């Protein structure tokens, strides 16, 4: 299993102070910065877009893991590539042109990722998973932070890990110190967490615990 990568979700940060929040997370040990992009159509919330990513890129050279919870993700490849996105994560459910979109993302110099909602079966993406750099298994319904972790979704992580031992498998939604062991055991190695990191008294300790737990499970 690949090594642990911890990606704090800036959705839980202070949007009025986003550049400093990014620097704070990196100082606390974050590997990636997870950017939740919502369009008010694919999900009922509205957050940030490519202009914010472009502005942040001026303040950090960190790996920007952009999770696009948007309809028609094809429309946004050019803008997010130009903004400085490192990984363009689109939802399986948002397009019918998966392979073409993966190729287009790669041609724009970004890593490609594919995400699935809790109700989407893992079989839907098993063949596609070998074509991307990362698969994201949502452990809450996409669209809002602070939801309860859905442990049943970890069966998808197990299936993906069995099929692709070297794949980066990300989990996002409700991750905290009470369930990180289960996520690690299932085979997740990229951990997205918002509330449990940003609201912690000592975020660096939470990030370190997440990393140590994942790496111990893969040893």
Cα separation, 21 vs 40, whole angstroms? 24
28, 31, 36, 168: which one is catalytic?
36
9 is known to lie in a ligand binding site: yes
Q: Is position 187 annotated in a ligand binding site?
A: no
Determine if residue 194 is labeled as part of a ligand binding site: yes
- Chain centroid, CA 45 distance in Å: 17
Q: Is 168 annotated as a binding residue?
A: no
Distance CA(177)–CA(35), nearest Å, equals 21
Is residue 162 packed enough to be buried (19+ CB in 10 Å), middle (13-18) or exposed (0-12)?
exposed
Task: For residue 36, say whether it is annotated as part of any ligand binding site.
Answer: yes
To the question of whether residue 13 is assigned a binding role by annotation, the answer is: no
Please tell me whether 65 is known to bind a ligand.
Answer: no
- Please tell me which residue in 28, 39, 168, 172 is annotated as part of the active site: 172
Question: Is there a catalytic annotation at residue 36?
Answer: yes
Tell me whether residue 41 is annotated as binding. no
- Any catalytic annotation for residue 181? no
Cα of first residue to Cα of last residue in the chain, in angstroms, is 8
Residue with tokens 């442990």: 151
**Cα–Cα distance between 46 and 36 in angstroms, integer?**
10
SS3 call for 24: helix
* 159 CB-near residues (< 8 Å, 6+ apart): 122, 126
* Residue 218, annotated as binding a ligand: no
Known binder of ligand: residue 144? yes
Query: Rg for the chain (alpha carbons), in Å?
Result: 16
Tokens of 31: 């590997």
Q: Give the residue numbers annotated as catalytic, written as ranges.
A: 36, 172
- State the binding site for a divalent metal cation: 34, 36, 67, 172
């Amino acid at each position: 299993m690949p090594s642990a990568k911890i990606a704090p979700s800036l959705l839980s940060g202070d949007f009025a102070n986003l550049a400093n929040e990014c620097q704070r997370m990196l100082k606390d040990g974050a590997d990636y910065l997870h950017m939740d992009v919502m369009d008010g159509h694919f999900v009922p919330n509205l957050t940030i877009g490519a202009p914010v990513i472009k502005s942040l890129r001026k303040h950090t050279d960190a790996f920007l893991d952009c999770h696009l919870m948007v309809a028609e993700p094809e429309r946004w490849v050019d803008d997010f590539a130009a903004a400085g996105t490192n990984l363009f994560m689109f939802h399986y459910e948002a397009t019918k042109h998966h392979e073409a979109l993966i190729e287009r993302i790669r041609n724009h110099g970004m890593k490609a990722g594919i995400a699935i909602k809790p109700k989407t079966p893992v079989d839907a993406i098993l063949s596609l998973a070998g074509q991307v750099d990362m698969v994201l298994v949502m452990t809450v319904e996409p669209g809002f932070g602070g939801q309860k972790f859905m442990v049943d979704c970890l069966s998808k992580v197990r299936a993906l890990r069995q099929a692709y031992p070297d794949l980066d498998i990300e989990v996002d939604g409700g991750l905290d110190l009470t369930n990180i062991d289960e996520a690690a055991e299932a085979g997740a190695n990229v951990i997205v967490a918002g509330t449990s990191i940003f609201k912690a008294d000592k975020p660096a300790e939470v990030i370190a615990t997440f990393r140590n737990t994942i790496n111990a499970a893969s040893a």
